[in-house]
Every structure is written in structure tokens, then in C-alpha cells.
């Protein structure tokens, strides 16, 4: 009976803690491997930048115009998907007096 309880406890811990962490790690690795030039990213330190170059282990970010920094791939927390902006063009209406 006690061995059954230990096995059940381990099973619950596996499905509640270990498996979700493995899935998150796989998703993060996939995101970091798909980074390319032009992507807007956020580092784990909260720095926003645009990817200018990618190497096997490092990523070059432009954090300000003309300022480039180098980061390790695992330091990229997430890729920001640019929101498509809809520009509205207003026609100028001449008011005739």
C-alpha cells in the first residue's frame, strides 16, 4: 500500500510539474532557433530591440539607431509580433464658401 501511494505521488508530480516545464522549454528553444533578422524581440532583462544578425550562439540586436549589442540566444525571452497598423487616409475636402 505505501509503495502504491509513492507511485501515485510521483505520477501526479510528473503530470503537474515536470511535463509542463518540458513543454515550455521546448517552445522556448523552438522560438529561439526561429529568430531571424528584422524580428523585434525582448530579452530576459527587459531590453527591447530589433535583430540585425544571427549566429549559431549569439544574436545581434539594434537597441537604438546605430547602437548594436550582442546577446546569447537563450537571453531572448520572446519575439514581439508587430501589429499590422491600418493607415487611414483622409481625403481633404475643400470647403467652398
Q: What is the pLDDT of residues 29-85, one digit of tens each?
A: 888 888 888 889 999 999 999 999 999 899 999 999 999 999 999 999 989 875 443
Q: What is the pLDDT of residues 3-22, one digit of tens each?
A: 999 999 999 988 888 889 99
Q: What is the pLDDT of residues 84-95, one digit of tens each?
A: 433 333 344 444
> Is 7:13 a contact under the CB 8 Å cutoff?
no
To which H or E segment does residue 3 belong? Answer: helix 2-13
57 vs 84: CA distance, rounded Å: 30
Q: Is residue 48 classed as helix, strand or coil in its secondary structure?
A: strand
Does some domain include residue 95?
no
Number of structural domains (the chain) is 1
Does some domain include residue 20?
yes
Domain CATH number, residue 13: 2.30.30
Q: What domain range includes position 16?
A: 2-80
Amino acid at each position: 500500500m505505501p509503495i502504491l501511494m509513492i507511485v501515485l505521488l510521483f505520477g501526479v508530480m510528473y503530470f503537474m510539474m515536470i511535463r509542463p516545464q518540458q513543454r515550455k522549454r521546448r517552445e522556448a528553444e523552438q522560438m529561439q532557433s526561429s529568430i531571424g533578422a528584422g524580428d523585434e524581440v525582448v530579452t530576459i532583462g527587459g531590453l527591447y530591440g530589433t535583430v540585425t544578425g544571427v549566429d549559431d550562439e549569439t544574436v545581434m540586436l539594434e537597441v537604438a539607431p546605430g547602437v548594436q549589442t550582442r546577446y546569447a540566444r537563450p537571453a531572448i525571452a520572446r519575439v514581439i509580433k508587430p501589429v499590422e497598423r491600418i493607415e487611414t487616409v483622409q481625403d481633404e475636402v475643400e470647403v467652398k464658401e
